[in-house]
Structure 1
Amino acid sequence: MEFRVPATSANLGPGFDSLGLALNLYNHFSLKPSKFTSIQIHGEGAKNPKLRIDNVFVRIFNEQLKKLTGKTLHFKFTFDNSIPISRGLGSSSAVIIGAISAAFKVAGIPFQKQEILNLALNYESHPDNITPACMGGFNVCMLTQRKNEVRFIHSPLPDSIQAVVVIPNQSISTHLSRQTLPKKYSQKDAVFNLSHASVLAGAFITQHFELLREASMDRFHQYYRMKQIPLLFEVQKCALSSGALMSTLSGSGSTFFNLCYKDDSVRLHKILSQKFPKLKILILNFDNFGVVFDDEFKL
């Protein structure tokens, strides 16, 4: 069984814990029945021995498979990872969505992606990354009042736009970065973010991308997180002055997500590469499918 899960960019400025989209940067997973469990990792994380000793994918997969079938089975797990770890591109969400989906496939139990999303909340309480990882495209997300289900509106993204992502070498811990955020916000700032996130969502869904520059402004989290890597302020300023339609911290960072029209992406990439030669900069399309299996698998 082989399948892939896309990278994601969440928050998108003012949409704190509620807006996210999927990128065509993938982690590929392969599971083959075996007499004993083995793990091979290629790409991101390949040099980290901890990922082979206590692999989150394998742990979640085994937990879910046990619940579904009552069985403990052995597989050869092969991971070909392109999503940078702890860079704000949803690597953990890709693992969670992938592991749960794989457990259902191995168990031979039909499932809806909504079911996968709800189960993913047991491992990730914020829906803005797990939803695009599962569904692809652009997503407006929320939790039900009991916080046990994800509700979302999904919209595909057109080929006329692309992302130019800037990936620093330094990681930012989501947990630690949340501790830097204010405990209270003024009514003025709350209304600011509410109005901007609403227009941002509407702009993506109706493809009024000219509204994104102003709609992507944020007063909740970006400034406090970006202070950990001050260079990010320069990245944002350079991107916006060089044709980006929006420039926002990807998740909790440290990656910066820049969106532009497809015709402008090569020029924006060149400008950012010249300005920040030590940073990894990629031009990416958007993924509109989410988790996708390459073949069917039966026990």
Structure 2
Amino acid sequence: MSRKFEISVPASSANIGPGFDVLGLALAKFLVINVEIDSSKTSDRKDPNNCIITYEGEGADGVPLDSDHNLVTRVALYVLRCNGIRSFPSGTFVHVNNPIPLGRGLGSSGAAVVAGVMLGNEVGKLGFSKQRMLDYCLMIERHPDNITAAMMGGFVGSYLRELSAADLERVEIPLAEVLPEPAGGRDTGLVPPEPPLNIGHHIKYDWCREIKAIVVIPNFEVSTASARGVLPTAYTASDMIFNLQRLAVLTTALTRSPPQADLIYQAMQDKVHQPYRKTLIPGLPEILASVTPKTHEGLLGICLSGAGPTILALATDNFETIAKEIVSRFNKEGIDCRWEVQELAYDGSNVKQL
């Protein structure tokens, strides 16, 4: 008998101004995984783990289609093997439809990790809650802001329990940041280390529904490793206080209606990561300084989305004018862009039986 189901996982925007590695927004732009399990169905392609992958969307030319190397299925195999299941059931077919740009600061790898954990949970009939699945995600992707937003949805703050090197050194854990290294994909025959309970903690904030997210997506990638490589290893007390003060205000300011533009704009300023990433993103300081509530009615705040290069602007009106101004600033640097207006994905990731 055939079994079919669909997994949907939202894109996400992390950091949100001063909330470096803390705040995340789930955006209503969904990675969709369609799965069919039918042992009577055959394919010309073979896979050692019984999983045939097809793919469409962003990055289709470069995404690996064997289950030992594709991030979604590598993560699913990790979950399965933690629970005594070595491979997918015979006749597993996975079709990935991905509209989330890769390497642009919209949580593409986080969405893939969440989708992989949900795939493993569903295929293995493990019955995990979202909170338990979050533990598996955070063993693989160590940035809780994107992961938590993608799994839980809405506007979230999160923190991560510190794990020892021994918790993370096993080759069976497919750490997302070291892809496309194949080591984590091969079957060593060992049982991978099961995640500790509740390694990630979060709170889901309210959100003022009048606020929409404008995302301006430049046509180049910034890797997480490069974006983290330009950050200092230590910060001054004054810079940390600057961010903490604004973070305390921002998490409440974005919940209140009507939103206060001057308050939110100032609360979205940052001294921890954006100033250091300007060398990776041409025109960044000018964009962040020139698009303000005074120059563009309806704007509330503006920041890098994740590690960039995507720009996130929060606004209540005048979306096209704001977006086109940011695009024009990038165009002056010789960079083409596209832009979208997004609602939040309030419910996060979901599985639907077909």
TM-score, scaled relative to structure 1 = 0.91
How far apart in 2 are the matches of 1:133 and 1:224?
26
1:89-136 Cα deviation digits (max 9, x unpaired)? 000110111111121122223222111111111111111110000011
Q: How many residues align?
A: 294
Name the structure where helix makes up a greater proportion of residues.
1
Partner of 2:301: 246
Q: Which has the higher contact order (CA 8 A, sep 6+)?
A: 1
Counterpart code for 1:259: L
Q: For 2:342 and 2:87, how far apart are their aligned partners in 1?
A: 38
Aligned partners of 1:157 and 1:288 also within 8 Å: no
CA distance in 2, matches of 1:47, 1:28: 18
C-alpha distance in 2 between matches for 1:159 and 1:196: 21
Q: Deviations over 1:59-84 (max 9, x none)?
A: 11112123235242242111100110
Is 1:188 matched with 2:238? Answer: yes
Q: 1:113 aligns with which of 110, 117, 130?
A: 130
Q: Given the alignment, which residue of 224, 241, 244 partners 2:276?
A: 224
% identity of equivalent residues: 33
Are residues 1:23 and 2:23 paired? no
**Is 2:315 the partner of 1:260?**
yes
Is 1:209 aligned with 2:209? no
CA distances 1:35-72 after superposition (whole Å, capped 9, x unpaired): 54211111111111x42242011111112123235242
Q: Distance in 2 between matches of 1:145 and 1:208?
A: 38
The whole-number CA distance in structure 1 between the counterparts of 2:330 and 2:277 is 20
User: Which segments of 5 or more consecutive residues in structure 2 lack a partner in the other structure?
Assistant: 40-49, 165-195
Deviations 1:130-172 (A, max 9, x none): 0000011001111235585111110243431111111111111
Q: Deviation above 4 Å: which 4+ runs of structure 1?
A: 145-148, 273-277
Deviation at 1:213, TM superposition (A): 0.3
Does structure 1 residue 269 correspond to structure 2 residue 318? no
Equivalent residue letter for 1:154: K
Report the Cα offset of residue 246 of structure 1: 0.8
CA distance in 2, matches of 1:220, 1:108: 42
Q: CA RMSD in A?
A: 2.0
Query: Secondary structure in 2 aligned to 1:28?
Result: strand
Unmatched 5+ residue regions in structure 1? none
In 2, the alpha carbon distance for the partners of 1:143 and 1:225 equals: 24
What is the 5 A alignment of 1:88-103?
88-103=105-120
Determine the C-alpha separation between the residues in 2 that align with 1:40 and 1:47. Answer: 12
For residues 137 and 103 of structure 2, what CA distance do their matches in structure 1 show? 18
Per the TM alignment, residue 268 of structure 1 is displaced from its structure 2 partner at its CA by 2.2
Q: Give yes or no for contact 1:45–1:51 (8 Å, CA) kept in 2.
A: no
Give the counterpart of 2:144 among 127, 133, 138: 127
Match of 1:37 among 51, 69, 86: 51
Question: What is the TM-score with the length of structure 2 in the denominator?
Answer: 0.78
